[in-house]
């Protein structure tokens, strides 16, 4: 099956391209390189030995997207391409609504015109806000998003759901990711945050590599075992493999008008301090950090109940948080210019 991977030069996208190839799929990458660069394609080539078709296309460009669907006969689409910085989305909401939602609708229209029936969407646990009850299941009510970024994910899910019911034959799954961390064990691909990372693990690895003076832990007065936030940290390679399983599930589905949602998490929650301690232990490095005030908009604790993805999609996390932190550190060492 030939699969269009939008944002395929990105963090999760690049790891998914590798996983698709390993599972016998034929990935085609489009990316506008806004939050990535061409070196990622070298890393993918070194891992797989393959030069997958790559087109530098912005998914917001209907003509370019249409021409691509005309040229390549796709069997499915995995849609990663989106702006994803929570803080930035608060500063530039129109950019986020325009980019994340127009690109989605351009793709859905092209899929309808060219009769492409399988769609996997990159959603986020951020749609749950701060859940009342934990762990979070797929029927945990979505809460009003705490950022325009999160709102684009919730709106996108609704657009896909409504479109699926109007487009006979289209089958779509929204995968609600928890916190993706780590890198490929080869250290040939990983997370390439442009500028100051907002996510925890790249900030940790850059601090440990001496690129930043210290990490600030945002708050230690939460109602958790050590006072710091709880998250469900999932290895990016496990997450990539979940997309292969999602396509396998869609292939099995025959009924039209099929739409479903899956939480893709390990099912375990760890605190920020537990992650920091694990990072120091597995890598034998001391991390310079201080505890500061809470970060506006942070959810106190969230982690997945993974029963549905385990039993229906037949996927479960195989790597541990320690594996992810070892791989993240090896990747950081690889990309940090030696002094
Ligand atoms: C995790 C924890 C911080 C940085 C968001 C989006 C989600 C997904 C991942 C895009 C929090 C703490 C962080 C730091 C810290 N989106 N932290 N010091 O906010 O859980 O999820 O990013 O990929 O949709 O909602 O991820 O890594 O920013 O924070 O203490 O310097 O680490 O307070 O508790 P988050 P995060």
Please determine, for residue 268, whether its predicted confidence score (pLDDT) is greater than 70: yes
In CATH terms, are 2-182+234-264 and 200-230+267-332 the same topology?
no
* CA dist list (Å): 249 to 79, 145, 177: 17, 29, 17
Token pair listed for 319 = 């790597």
Mind listing the pLDDT tens digit for each residue in 43-69? 999 999 999 999 999 999 999 999 999
Mind listing the pLDDT tens digit for each residue in 120-149? 999 999 999 999 999 999 999 999 888 999
Better-scored residue on pLDDT, 256 or 247: 247
Please determine, for residue 315, whether its predicted confidence score (pLDDT) is greater than 90: yes
Please determine, for residue 252, whether its predicted confidence score (pLDDT) is greater than 60: yes
Q: What is the mean pLDDT of the chain?
A: 96
Q: What positions carry a catalytic annotation?
A: 149
Banded pLDDT at 255 (limits 50, 70, 90): low
Please determine, for residue 339, whether its predicted confidence score (pLDDT) is greater than 70: no
CB-CB neighbours of 278 under 10 Å: 18
Residue 103 is inside which H or E element, if any? helix 103-113
pLDDT at 151: 96
Distance (Å) from CA 127 to ligand 1 centroid = 14
pTM over the 0.85 mark: yes
Out of 15, 86, 328, mutate this one to test ligand 1's pocket (max ligand atoms within 8 Å of CB): namely 86
Protein residue with least CA distance to atom 21, ligand 1: 179
Residue 65 is inside which H or E element, if any? helix 62-71
Please determine, for residue 330, whether its predicted confidence score (pLDDT) is greater than 70: yes
Closest atom of ligand 1 to CA, residue 203: 31
d(CA 288, CA 208): 7
Contact yes or no for 239/309 (Cβ under 8 A): no
Token pair listed for 303 = 């982690």
Token pair listed for 164 = 């699926």
Distance (Å) from CA 205 to ligand 1 centroid = 14
Please determine, for residue 167, whether its predicted confidence score (pLDDT) is greater than 90: no
Classify domain 2-182+234-264 at the CATH superfamily level. NAD(P)-binding Rossmann-like Domain (3.40.50.720)
pLDDT at 146: 86
CATH topology classification for 200-230+267-332: UDP-galactose 4-epimerase; domain 1 (3.90.25)
What dihedral do alpha carbons 152, 309, 306, 242 form, nearest 10°? -70
Mind listing the pLDDT tens digit for each residue in 19-31? 999 999 999 999 9
Q: Poorest-confidence range of 176-190, 265-279, 325-339?
A: 325-339
Mind listing the pLDDT tens digit for each residue in 197-250? 889 999 999 999 999 999 999 999 999 999 999 999 999 999 999 999 999 999
Please determine, for residue 256, whether its predicted confidence score (pLDDT) is greater than 70: no
Distance (Å) from CA 299 to ligand 1 centroid = 9
pLDDT at 97: 98
Percent of the chain with pLDDT over 90: 91
Out of 272, 289, 325, mutate this one to test ligand 1's pocket (max ligand atoms within 8 Å of CB): namely 272
DSSP class of residue 337 equals: P
Protein residue with least CA distance to atom 13, ligand 1: 200
Token pair listed for 91 = 């500063």
Q: Domain map of the chain by residue range? A: 2-182+234-264, 200-230+267-332
Residue owning tokens 């001391």: 286
272-283 and 200-208 helices, crossing angle to 10°: 40
Banded pLDDT at 193 (limits 50, 70, 90): confident
**Rounded mean pLDDT, 263-277:** 98
CA 117 to chain centre: 22
Mind listing the pLDDT tens digit for each residue in 56-106? 999 999 999 999 999 999 999 999 999 999 889 999 999 999 999 999 999
Out of 295, 300, 302, 304, mutate this one to test ligand 1's pocket (max ligand atoms within 8 Å of CB): namely 295
Closest atom of ligand 1 to CA, residue 275: 32
> In 3-state terms, the chain is what percent helix, strand and coil (to 5)?
40, 15, 40
């Amino acid at each position: 099956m030939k699969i269009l991977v939008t944002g395929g030069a990105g963090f999760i996208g690049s790891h998914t391209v590798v996983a698709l190839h390993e599972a016998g799929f034929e990935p085609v990458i489009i990316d506008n390189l806004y939050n990535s660069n061409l070196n990622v394609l070298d890393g993918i080539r070194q891992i797989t030995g393959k030069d997958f078709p790559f087109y530098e296309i912005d998914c917001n460009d209907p003509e370019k997207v249409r021409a691509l669907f005309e040229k390549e006969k796709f069997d499915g689409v995995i849609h990663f391409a989106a702006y994803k910085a929570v803080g930035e989305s608060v500063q530039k909401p129109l950019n986020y609504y325009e980019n994340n939602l127009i690109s989605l609708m351009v793709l859905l229209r092209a899929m309808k015109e060219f009769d492409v029936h399988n769609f996997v969407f990159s959603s986020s646990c951020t749609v749950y806000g701060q859940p009342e009850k934990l762990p979070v299941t797929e029927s945990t009510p979505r809460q009003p998003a705490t950022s325009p970024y999160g709102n684009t994910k919730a709106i996108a899910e609704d657009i896909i759901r409504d479109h699926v019911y109007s487009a006979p034959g289209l089958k779509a799954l929204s995968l609600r990711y928890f916190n993706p961390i780590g890198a490929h064990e080869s250290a040939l691909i990983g997370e390439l945050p442009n500028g100051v990372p907002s996510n925890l693990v790249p900030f940790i690895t850059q601090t440990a590599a001496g690129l930043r003076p210290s990490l600030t832990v945002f708050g230690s007065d939460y109602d958790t075992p050590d006072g710091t936030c709880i998250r469900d940290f999932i290895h990016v390679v496990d997450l990539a493999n979940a997309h292969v399983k999602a396509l396998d599930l869609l292939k099995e589905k025959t009924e039209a008008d099929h739409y479903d949602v899956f939480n893709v998490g390990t099912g375990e929650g760890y605190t920020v301090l537990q992650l920091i301690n694990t990072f120091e232990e597995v890598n034998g490095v001391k991390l310079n950090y201080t505890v500061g005030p809470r970060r506006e908009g942070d959810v106190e604790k969230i982690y997945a109940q993974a029963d549905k993805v385990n039993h229906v999609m037949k996927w479960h996390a195989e790597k541990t948080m320690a594996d992810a932190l070892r791989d993240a550190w090896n990747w950081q060492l690889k990309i940090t210019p030696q002094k």
